[in-house]
């Protein structure tokens, strides 16, 4: 039996982390809702499992997404993750082939050179040793980048890197020590026995010329084992927990589990899967426009993990969703932030002594005081029967040019419609939802739903992406919900309206709730290119900016919001367009207040381009798209 | 004694400063971007608080600059200002190149662009006008809606682009309250059948005879003052304006139909002034107006020796204050010329 006391720290750490991960998985699985448990079981025997393996390989080891956005940062992550994986894999094979026996204890593979110092003399052994050295060199190159990144983040092409807490620092140090100590331990051993390949061999031979290699090796083997052990034991309470957790995340996601609106296993798994890589920090406009660098999603995830008070972080966010798009792990950051908002100001009282290792479950929504949030005082008017409802929304009432344009277009279309909130209406409910007050919002939703249902309409057109999102996601309506850009597109396609071509340069700003929030990217641009010359900007589609006027952030001062707006306008209007077009009344208002450049909603441009024709009421049955809608 | 002074801006402040400098035997060049001197006053009809004809003021100012020491350059704007040693070198869009010993900046103000408060519907609804549009109607003597009808119910929205963080103007333009009161009275005189409503946040009547005018408007002219900000303006079926406002004294929301709405546009640093600030390195404050060296005893002095401010390019002022401020700038200029041995 090959054994040496120095392997004890490693063994303790390894078995600790294995038992921990198993316990943790059991707890996580137990806490899943019944449907999610079923999904997971189905996923395990289905295609999800294979897909997950592939994704784990591509994302957790190769880090494809990071590589695509940032080559150097991706290389750093890849060399550490993939390199370490290869080292373990080939180390195990090495121990299995060349070791005294097959099926060795893990430590035999990790400390193979110590127990087999003479190994590497024959040709095949030397070739294998070369491979192992190559892998180690690969990891060390990544480690070098990581160390540099910590002190000088621009080296990997990042403007900001995450700040660390003490345990993170200790874990980081132990992680950093693992590979250099392995290198030195192996080199000294190789130096003493005249083995080792191009890296360990060369370094070992050179070190042996002026140091007592045999005696020097032993302490480094201890250091190697100790740093591994420390790293494993600290892993659950540091960001490195993301290493095992991400595997669960990928599998759960592929099985079809979603974040939902309550805290649960999936949101917790996602929270732990955040590696604090800091990509979200660079993506965040609060960082690069306003210099606020403590509220980004990486910090939110960390604060949740640490059971810190997250109220300030959770609310100081535009909810623009830029970080969701950029997150290489694919964490649903905005929904998790919303869960924190819904959690309100409630405290996590129940803290146990192992809170770092088994944190108390996140508090569920505290019951708000019973507020008589009903809207009985509002007159519920009987809406006339109609095909199409136009719901302008509060913000559109504050930008009457959009409202007027839509009325002009709707009149010209000849379709039977009802401008349901022409003389004032009830809020769609999203602002309340964004501040975490779902119950109160539900009252508004019910009120509006009744109105819409009574009208018998098959299509609801709204001018405001904020309304659009909530109508689509949180209303249970048997109507097709369209943003007015989609509706105008449809009118043009069906030949219901004719438009002139305006010889103007137009740049499109995609509103957060319409683009990233609801996935409507194409129709607005198609309408613009039908009407005018659509110019490209450097912030298209998923990468579009937030105007800064977001309803979701009530923490920012006006001047900061203006700064964000101004930066966004400047970035979008680099090529001096005639019009900066948007499809959201709030974006329009926000931009108009900071620039002299003409800001217009797509509806306004369309109304300007509209060729007037005599008013005629069509029956909706003649029209293709509209007819399709009626059949839903 | 041959001392050259350039005055930039031919409004009230610029004309007053130019006139007084000429009296003090300076050779003055007065640069005005419009084709005519007089600035905003030229477009006004009557002035508060005594409702004197603004033409009187324009006449006084025109007479003042009609001196042999003054060269008036109309339709001219400044392209660059450079200082070398003690001389200022100024180039204009018309190709003038001038040297001067001192410069007085009197670029004045622009009215806030009311289109920016889109919720009030300026430029969208026909009968939403600004205080300046109303004054033009007074001058023409014809106060009508777009379609030629006589308006019956008229509203005034105070603080449009003033005291409004969202518009980027946190300051009070301070003249709009009393202007609204004056205009409300005039409407009631023009159209005795009409009803007038003022929607205000505070009534800031801090000037000589203002409070009396305010009193008069209520007692004699039955103008209604409603404390609350207009939130949005819509259009009714018969082209009336639906105004939503909260009556904060009664504590309830109001919705009323009006025939005409007048927006009391605030004062902003003039575009021309902003350009000059950009090209010359003159300091501006957070409110974008030129920042004076001292609020109490240096309100005409800039951060560049030899450049002085006159009038509303530093802050909102009424005519009386503008003229006083312009005269004070002349004192500063003369002191400077003397101290610098020019």
Instruction: Kindly list the domain boundaries of chain A, sorted by start residue.
Output: 61-229, 258-342, 388-494, 505-609
DSSP letters spanning A508-573: EPPPTTTTTTT---HHHHHHHHHHSEEEP-SS-GGGPPP-S--TT--SS-HHHHHHHHHHHHHHHT
Residue in this structure with the two tokens 């802050």, named with its chain if needed: B315
Domain A505-609 fold: Rossmann fold (3.40.50)
Domain A388-494 fold: Rossmann fold (3.40.50)
The size of chain B, in residues, is 342
Indicate whether B99 and B122 sit together in one domain.
no
The interface residues of chain B toward chain A in range 107-166, judged by CB-CB distance below 8 A, are 116, 118-119, 121, 124-125, 165-166
The whole-number pLDDT of residue A528 equals: 97
Indicate whether B54 and B82 sit together in one domain.
yes
Smallest Cβ–Cβ distance between B234 and the set A400, A558, A562 belongs to A400
In chain B, what residues touch A593 (CB-CB under 8 Å)? 116, 166-168
pLDDT band at A167 (very low <50, low <70, confident <90, very high): confident
Indicate whether B12 and B101 sit together in one domain.
yes
The size of chain A, in residues, is 632
The whole-number pLDDT of residue A461 equals: 96
What ipTM was estimated for this complex? 0.83
In chain B, what residues touch A594 (CB-CB under 8 Å)? 168
The whole-number pLDDT of residue A348 equals: 45
In chain A, what residues touch B231 (CB-CB under 8 Å)? 398
DSSP letters spanning B179-230: HHHHHHHHHHHH-TT-EEEEEES-----STTHHHHHHHHHHTT--EEEES-E
DSSP annotation of A313: H
Smallest Cβ–Cβ distance between B119 and the set A398, A562, A594 belongs to A398
In chain B, what residues touch A423 (CB-CB under 8 Å)? 234, 242
Q: What is the arithmetic mean of pLDDT over A95-107? A: 82
The whole-number pLDDT of residue A158 equals: 67
Domain limit, last residue, from B216, B234, B267: B267
The whole-number pLDDT of residue A156 equals: 66
Indicate whether B229 and B284 sit together in one domain.
no
Q: Is the per-residue pLDDT at B122 higher than 70? A: yes
Indicate whether B166 and B248 sit together in one domain.
yes
* Residues whose CB is less than 8 angstroms from the CB of residue A578 and which lie 6 or more positions away in sequence, other chains included: A504, A505, A506, A598
Q: Is the per-residue pLDDT at A365 higher than 60? A: no
* Tokens linked to A544: 């579009």
What would the CATH number be for the domain defined by A258-342? 1.10.1060.10
Q: Which of A62-76, A85-99, A616-630 has the lowest mean pLDDT?
A: A616-630
* Residues β-bridged to residue B125: B122
Q: Which of A209-213, A215-219, A350-354 has the lowest mean pLDDT?
A: A350-354
**Closest by Cα among B296, B157, B288, B171 to B233:** B157
CATH number, residue B139: 3.50.50.60
Indicate whether B127 and B104 sit together in one domain.
no
Q: Is A592 on the interface with B (CB under 8 A)?
A: yes
Domain limit, last residue, from B222, B247, B267: B267
Indicate whether B194 and B293 sit together in one domain.
no
Dump pLDDT digits (tens) for A220-274.
999 999 999 999 999 988 888 999 999 999 999 999 998 887 788 899 999 999 9
Cβ-defined contact of A593 to B232 (cutoff 8 Å): no
If one counts every other C-beta atom within 10 angstroms of the C-beta of residue A169, the result is 12
Which residue, among A400, A406, A551, would best test binding to B if mutated, counting the most B CBs under 10 Å from its CB?
A: A400
Q: Indicate the burial class of A501 (C-beta count within 10 angstroms; 0-12, 13-18, 19 or more).
A: exposed
Q: Is the per-residue pLDDT at A628 higher than 70? A: no
Dump pLDDT digits (tens) for B38-60.
999 999 999 999 999 999 999 99
Indicate whether B120 and B141 sit together in one domain.
yes
pLDDT band at A468 (very low <50, low <70, confident <90, very high): very high
Query: Do the first three CATH levels of A388-494 and A505-609 match, i.e. the same topology?
Result: yes
In chain B, what residues touch A562 (CB-CB under 8 Å)? 168
User: CA nearest A598 in B: which residue?
Assistant: B116
Indicate whether B47 and B145 sit together in one domain.
no
Dump pLDDT digits (tens) for A193-209.
888 889 998 999 999 89
pLDDT band at B69 (very low <50, low <70, confident <90, very high): very high
Q: Is the per-residue pLDDT at B170 higher than 80? A: yes
The whole-number pLDDT of residue A355 equals: 59
pLDDT band at A46 (very low <50, low <70, confident <90, very high): confident
Domain limit, last residue, from B250, B267, B284: B267
**Alpha-carbon dihedral angle through residues A366, A371, A373, A376, given to the nearest 10 degrees:** 150
pLDDT band at B1 (very low <50, low <70, confident <90, very high): low
Indicate whether B136 and B245 sit together in one domain.
yes
Host domain of residue B275: 4-108+270-339
Dump pLDDT digits (tens) for A547-594.
999 988 989 988 899 999 999 999 999 999 999 999 999 999 999 999
| Phi, psi for A324 (deg, rounded to 5) | -55, -40
Q: Is the per-residue pLDDT at B182 higher than 90? A: yes
Dump pLDDT digits (tens) for A138-157.
999 999 998 888 888 766 66
Calculate the average pLDDT of chain B: 95
Indicate whether B129 and B166 sit together in one domain.
yes
In chain A, what residues touch B244 (CB-CB under 8 Å)? 424
Dump pLDDT digits (tens) for B237-251.
888 999 999 999 999
Q: Which of A98-102, A311-315, B78-82, B268-272 has the lowest mean pLDDT?
A: A98-102
Percent of chain A with pLDDT over 70: 90
Residue in this structure with the two tokens 């077009």, named with its chain if needed: A581
**Closest by Cα among A528, A511, A534, A507 to A590:** A511
Which residue, among B112, B233, B234, B261, would best test binding to A if mutated, counting the most A CBs under 10 Å from its CB?
A: B234
Query: How far is A262 from A269, CA to CA, in rounded Å?
Result: 13
User: CA nearest B271 in A: which residue?
Assistant: A596
Q: Is the per-residue pLDDT at A364 higher than 60? A: no
The whole-number pLDDT of residue A570 equals: 96
Question: Reduced to 3 states, what is the DSSP secondary structure of residue B122?
Answer: strand
* Closest Cα in chain B, distance from residue A558 (Å): 7
Domain count within chain B: 2
Indicate whether B202 and B333 sit together in one domain.
no
Dump pLDDT digits (tens) for A303-335.
888 888 888 899 999 999 999 999 999 999 999
Smallest Cβ–Cβ distance between A404 and the set B124, B242, B255 belongs to B124
- What is the separation of C-alpha B64 from the centre of its chain, rounded to a whole number of angstroms? 21
Q: Indicate the burial class of A152 (C-beta count within 10 angstroms; 0-12, 13-18, 19 or more).
A: exposed
Query: How far is A519 from A209, CA to CA, in rounded Å?
Result: 65
Classify the C-alpha dihedral A483-A487-A488-A489 as positive or negative.
positive
């Amino acid at each position: 039996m090959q054994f040496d006391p120095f392997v004890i720290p490693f063994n303790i750490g390894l078995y600790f982390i294995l038992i921990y991960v198993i316990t943790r998985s059991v707890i996580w699985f137990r806490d899943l809702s019944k449907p999610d448990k079923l999904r997971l079981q189905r996923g395990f025997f289905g295609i999800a499992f294979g897909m997950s393996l592939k994704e784990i390989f591509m994302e957790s080891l190769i880090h494809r997404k990071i590589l695509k956005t940032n080559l150097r940062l991706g290389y750093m992550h890849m060399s550490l993750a993939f390199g370490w994986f290869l080292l373990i894999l080939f180390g195990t094979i090495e121990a299995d082939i060349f070791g005294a026996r097959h099926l060795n204890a893990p430590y035999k593979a990790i400390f193979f050179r110590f127990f087999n110092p003479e190994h590497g003399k024959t040709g095949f052994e030397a070739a294998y040793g070369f491979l192992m050295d190559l892998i180690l060199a690969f990891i060390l190159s990544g480690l070098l980048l990581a160390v540099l990144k910590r002190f000088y983040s621009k080296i990997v092409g990042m403007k900001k890197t995450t700040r660390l807490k003490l345990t993170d620092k200790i874990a980081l140090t132990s992680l950093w020590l693992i590979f250099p100590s392995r290198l030195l331990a192996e080199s000294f051993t190789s130096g003493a026995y005249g083995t080792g390949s191009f890296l360990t061999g060369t370094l070992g031979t050179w070190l042996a010329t002026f140091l007592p290699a045999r005696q020097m090796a032993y302490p480094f083997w201890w250091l190697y084992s100790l740093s591994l052990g420390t790293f494993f034991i600290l892993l659950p309470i540091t960001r490195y927990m993301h290493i095992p957790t991400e595997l669960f995340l990928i599998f759960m996601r592929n099985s079809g589990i979603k974040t939902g609106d309550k805290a649960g296993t999936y949101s917790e798994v996602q929270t732990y899967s955040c590696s604090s890589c800091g990509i979200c920090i660079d993506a965040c406009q609060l960082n690069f426009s306003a210099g606020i660098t403590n509220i980004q999603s990486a910090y939110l995830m960390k604060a949740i993990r640490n059971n810190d008070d997250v109220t300030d972080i959770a609310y100081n966010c535009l909810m623009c969703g830029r970080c969701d798009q950029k997150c290489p792990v694919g964490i649903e950051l905005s929904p998790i932030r919303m869960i924190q908002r819904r959690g309100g100001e409630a405290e996590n009282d129940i803290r146990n002594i192992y809170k770092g290792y088994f944190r108390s479950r996140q508090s569920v929504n505290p019951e708000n005081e019973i507020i008589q949030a009903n809207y009985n005082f509002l007159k519920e008017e009987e809406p006339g029967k109609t095909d199409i409802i136009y719901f302008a929304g509060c913000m559109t009432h504050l930008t009457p040019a959009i409202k007027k344009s839509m009325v002009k277009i709707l009149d010209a279309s000849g379709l039977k419609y009802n401008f349901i909130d022409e003389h004032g209406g009830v809020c769609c409910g999203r602002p309340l939802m964004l501040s975490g007050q779902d119950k109160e919002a539900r009252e508004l939703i019910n009120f509006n739903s009744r109105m819409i249902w009574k009208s018998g309409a098959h299509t609801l057109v709204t001018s405001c992406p904020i309304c659009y999102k909530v109508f689509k996601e949180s209303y249970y309506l048997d109507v097709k919900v369209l943003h007015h850009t989609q509706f105008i597109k449809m009118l043009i396609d069906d030949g219901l309206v004719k438009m002139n071509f305006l010889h103007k340069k137009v740049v499109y700003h995609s509103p957060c709730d319409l683009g990233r929030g609801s996935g409507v990217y194409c129709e607005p641009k198609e309408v613009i290119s039908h009407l005018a010359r659509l110019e490209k900007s450097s912030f298209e589609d998923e990468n579009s900016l937030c105007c800064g006027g977001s309803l979701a952030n009530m923490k920012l001062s006006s001047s900061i919001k203006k700064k964000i707006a101004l930066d966004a306008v400047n970035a979008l209007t680099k090529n001096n367009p005639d019009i900066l077009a948007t499809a959201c009344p709030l974006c329009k208002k926000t931009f108009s207040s900071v620039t002299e450049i003409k800001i217009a909603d797509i509806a306004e441009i369309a109304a300007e381009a509209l060729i007037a024709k005599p008013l005629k009421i069509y029956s909706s049955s003649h029209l293709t798209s509209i007819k399709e809608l009626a059949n839903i | 004694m041959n001392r050259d002074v350039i005055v930039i801006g031919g409004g009230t402040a610029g004309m007053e400063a130019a006139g007084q400098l000429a009296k003090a035997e300076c050779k003055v060049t007065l640069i005005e971007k419009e084709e005519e001197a007089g600035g905003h006053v030229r477009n006004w009809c009557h002035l508060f608080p005594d409702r004197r004809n603004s033409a009187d003021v324009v006449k006084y100012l025109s007479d003042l600059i009609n001196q042999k020491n003054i060269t008036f350059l109309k339709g001219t704007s400044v392209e660059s200002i450079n200082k070398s040693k003690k001389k200022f070198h100024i180039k204009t869009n018309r190709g003038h190149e001038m040297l001067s010993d001192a410069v007085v900046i009197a670029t004045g103000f622009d009215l806030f662009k009311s289109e920016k408060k889109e919720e009030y519907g300026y430029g969208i609804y026909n009968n939403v006008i600004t205080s300046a549009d109303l004054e033009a109607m007074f001058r023409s003597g014809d106060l009508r809606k777009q379609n030629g009808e006589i308006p019956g119910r008229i509203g005034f929205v105070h603080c449009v682009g003033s005291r409004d963080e969202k518009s980027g103007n946190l300051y009070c333009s301070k003249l709009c309250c009393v202007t609204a009161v004056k205009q409300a009275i005039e409407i009631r005189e023009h159209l005795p059948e009409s009803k007038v409503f003022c929607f205000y946040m505070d009534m800031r009547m801090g000037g000589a005879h203002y409070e009396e005018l305010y009193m008069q408007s209520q007692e004699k002219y039955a103008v209604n003052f409603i404390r609350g900000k207009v939130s949005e303006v819509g259009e009714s079926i018969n082209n009336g304006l639906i105004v939503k406002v909260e009556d904060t004294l009664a504590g309830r929301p109001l919705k009323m139909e009006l025939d005409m709405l007048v927006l009391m546009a605030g004062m902003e640093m003039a575009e021309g002034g902003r350009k000059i600030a950009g090209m010359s390195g003159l300091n501006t404050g957070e409110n974008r107006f030129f920042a004076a060296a001292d609020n109490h005893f240096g309100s005409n002095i800039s951060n560049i020796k030899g450049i002085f401010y006159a009038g509303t390019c530093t802050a909102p002022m009424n005519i009386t204050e503008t003229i006083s401020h312009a005269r004070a700038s002349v004192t500063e200029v003369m002191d400077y010329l003397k101290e610098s041995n020019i």
